[in-house]
Amino acid sequence: MPIPRSSSSCFPAAGAPAAAPEWPDRECLSDVPRAVLGIESWPAWRRLLRLPDAHAFQRIDAWRGLVQALSLLDSEVDRVPFDQSRDGIFAESRPCWNQFTSAVWERSEFEGLAGGEGRIRKISVKNPFGPLTMAVKIDDFTCDICDVDGIMDSRSSDLYFESVAAFGQRYCMSMRTEINQRGLAEMLGHGDTRVIHLPGSKTLSIWFWDGRLFLCNSGGAQRFAGAAFIAEVIRQPVPLKASLLLRWLNTPAWNWLLSRYFMLYTSDQKHCVPRRCLAGLVEQVFFIELGLRCIRDDVLLLVPKNTLTTTSVIELLEGRGFEEVNRVILRLLRCQEENRRILSRRWPEICTPPWLASIALEK
């Protein structure tokens, strides 16, 4: 008869008295979810005696290892959310501005661990639809100053403004600038507004999941905004010419991930994530190392949806502060498609080439 490992937490320590030494205490499994035990797969006599087999003991130990490791996390610490975007017009107002700026999203292959057969081994998964984000640059893009919806860099970025014009209005009031042609010329005449004086020297950008046109500047934000405000009030066109960077989420690649994995985000130290225990419980797990901050390791866990233990594992991780981001990604994809429709009407020339090219490659 197979005897479970003596090191299992279901058995008393060596030398300790036991009421029934030939069998483990039946109550020792009460802290383990039924899905982790996998009782339905045991032979009838094991189900009757509540005696797990070797594979079940491995899952039990992995579960308890996961519970123990997660219990060490400080529940009082405020965990950083996956999406830290703020309201307003500056760079931090873009949805997931702190995430989709890393080169990791341009990769299509991720490392992970696989469990089973009593050992843990390294594996990798490759997304057949390519990288998770894609980009294209369009030279000599032209628009009007009032078309700009946001500004990447400003010393006023800690403040809230509902529009670039509102930002400019405050600056004009503080400088007592005349709201007329003379005031507009004064704002545009300063050397900091390089997008005016040196066409092509600055870049504009659109993230399709955000949908707004941003000026990628290095100074001159207040004067640029002041000019935009005056131009809007006096209805004076101010043409801009710059290269335009378009970035979008690769929808087929994300749909492939969303259909197969729960994605859970944590900003805790990665040594608190018991990766081998996870692999032993859900057969395989993948890790996307975001590496966004020097003081902690941001990690995205990819947990397969098609295992019996997945639900229990997800509930445990979410209970300890891990954030499931599938719903966040789905929301961004929906916003991206709506923004694509809006932008295609606003500027047909910027939407057609990248989107048609990407769809053609997917087919």
d(CA 202, CA 215) in angstroms, rounded, equals: 8
- Residue-level pLDDT at 126: 95
Residue whose structure tokens are 């941001």 = 298
Q: For the chain, list residues with pLDDT below 50.
A: 1-25, 294-295, 353, 355-363
Element (H or E) spanning 346, and its range?
helix 326-346
Amino acid at 134: M
Could you tell me if 143 and 215 are in contact, meaning their C-beta atoms sit under 8 angstroms apart?
no
Q: For the CA atoms of 57, 58, 62, 63, what is the dihedral angle to 10 degrees?
A: -40
- Residue-level pLDDT at 207: 95
Question: Judging by beta carbons within 10 Å of its beta carbon (0-12, 13-18, 19+), is residue 13 exposed, middle or buried?
Answer: exposed
Domain-wise residue ranges, the chain: 106-132+250-324, 135-249
Q: Percentage helix, strand, coil, to 5, in the chain?
A: 40, 20, 40
Could you tell me if 65 and 277 are in contact, meaning their C-beta atoms sit under 8 angstroms apart?
yes
d(CA 354, CA 345) in angstroms, rounded, equals: 15
The DSSP call for residue 144 is E
Q: Which residue from 204, 213, 207, 89 is spatially nearest to 148, judged by alpha carbons?
A: 213
d(CA 286, CA 283) in angstroms, rounded, equals: 11
- Residue-level pLDDT at 54: 74
Strands 109-114 and 239-249 turn out to be: unpaired
Query: What is the value of pTM for the model shown?
Result: 0.83
